[in-house]
Amino acid sequence: MSNTPHTAGIVAGRLPADAYARNFGDAEPPLDRHEAQVAADRCYFCHDAPCITACPTDIDIPLFIRQIATGTPEAAARTIFGQNILGGMCARVCPTETLCEQACVREAAEGKPVEIGRLQRFATDMLMTQGVHPFTRAAPTGRRVAVVGAGPAGLACAHRLAMLGHDVAIYDARPKAGGLNEYGIAQYKSVGDFAQAEVEWLLQIGGISISNSMALGRDVTLAGLQADYDAVFLGMGLAGVNALRVPGEDRGNVRDAVDFIADLRQTPDKSALPIGRDVVVIGGGMTAVDAAVQSRLLGAQNVTIVYRRGQDRMSASDYEQHHAQTAGVRIVTNAAPVAVHGNGAVTEVEFAYTAEGPGGLSLTDDRFRLRADQVFKAIGQTLSGAPEGLALTGGKILVTGPGRTSLSGIWAGGDCAAGGDDLTVTAVAEGRDAAMDIHASLTRRG
């Protein structure tokens, strides 16, 4: 971060021109061949590897690391992609510190796990940059499947179905495919145009078409898809955003954090993005952290995350919380917004400290205000426009087993479906597993 004085108000170009490339560069540069060899040599290649159990896509981690160690990273990439076709993106964005690396025997023994995520990126990047697609399609089955949503779940489902010989048509509401990988991930975690490059690489399997700017309920209907296709997979994510439900929420410069992150990812020139001097982010998950950190990287002077419960209850990992604080973000916990103040545009947010009791969370009379010229809401997303007839639970599509919904011939996975951890890697696993169940259902029909 530059120490250049900050201008008051919401303005673009707060930092020197060269600061943006530095701030939004690769947060963790890739390993070179020698570094990968050294990192791979630290693996014990455990027979009953706990890291595999901790991976939602069940990648054989000791095997792919052994393949790197023996000088065959392309084989390692095939091992990864066989379980997780979006292994390249997952290597960048997976919270490995709470999944495979936390379970690593080296972590328990030494407090320093094998760098599984970086090794995965080394292997997958090497194969992808060669333009090699490791799979070929089976003989055509004559079956056609519709996939709604070109995010991680939809793409993983489509690829596996195509590999098994089915024809797949993806319908996505956005102008670009990729879902949260394209629109919802912090820029410094996935730099350049990797999300689109990954989609194009995935489509090399053949048999998949993508129709963009086609939203379910607006441009296509579930009934229409059921009539035209042999099966339907719903992976459209969560398009709605929860409201604060406090007075003044509609004031100027109060916006959804997901929209801010999407704008940032779709704007090549980061210096053109206006940012406030005093930014308040409301929420405690990854979206809140990503919005807060990137506000600092754009030049905001004071950035505060406010979460209604204790810091140990934040869904953002300890690693991400520490990263935010290292970036200069202040985290205030046990406080909830009660009003947004200002004259047209926001100038302050009023909070009440909260207390946990037998009846749940309650507001106390102890209040404070934070100066803010920009506020980002990151308090969760909701399913919008769910088709009639689908059973819901907790505001998401009810699924059983490998993504089966309450309607015959319709499967669902990813963030729009109940269960899971709202992670890219979990969505991939759900899409892949639903595809296998769809395949079994279609082939049983003859």
Q: Look at residue 420 in the predicted model and tell me its pLDDT.
A: 75
Both 165 and 232 in one domain: the answer is yes
Residues 6 or more apart in contact with residue 31 via CB below 8 angstroms: 39, 115, 118, 119, 121, 122
Kindly state whether residues 297 and 326 are assigned to the same domain.
yes
Q: In the prediction, which pLDDT does 27 show?
A: 85
Regions of the chain short of the pLDDT cut 70: 1-8, 445-446
Count of structural domains, the chain: 3
Pick from 346, 380, 414: which residue ends a domain? 380
Among the candidates 81, 103, 129, a domain finishes at 129
pLDDT at 388: 84
Residues 291 and 328 in one domain: yes
Do 354 and 279 share a structural domain?
Answer: yes
pLDDT in tens, 158-193: 999 999 999 999 999 999 999 999 999 999 999 989
Contacts of 95 (CB under 8 A, 6+ apart): 317, 319, 320, 423
Answer yes or no: is 7 within a domain. no
What's the whole-model pTM score?
0.95
Q: Tell me what the pLDDT averaged over the chain comes to.
A: 95
| CA–CA distance, 207 with 170 (Å, rounded to integer) | 11
Domain of residue 435: give its range.
144-239+383-444
Residues 6+ apart with CB under 8 A from 411: 157, 231, 232, 233, 234, 399, 402, 403, 404, 405, 434, 437, 438
Identity of the residue numbered 59: I
Q: Is residue 228 in a domain? A: yes
pLDDT for the residue 309: 97
**Residue 66 covered by a domain:** yes
Q: Of 268, 192, 174, 168, whose CA–CA distance to 26 is shortest?
A: 192
Determine the 3-state secondary structure of 323 from DSSP.
Answer: helix
The tens digit of pLDDT for each residue in 296-331 reads 999 999 999 999 999 999 999 999 999 999 999 999
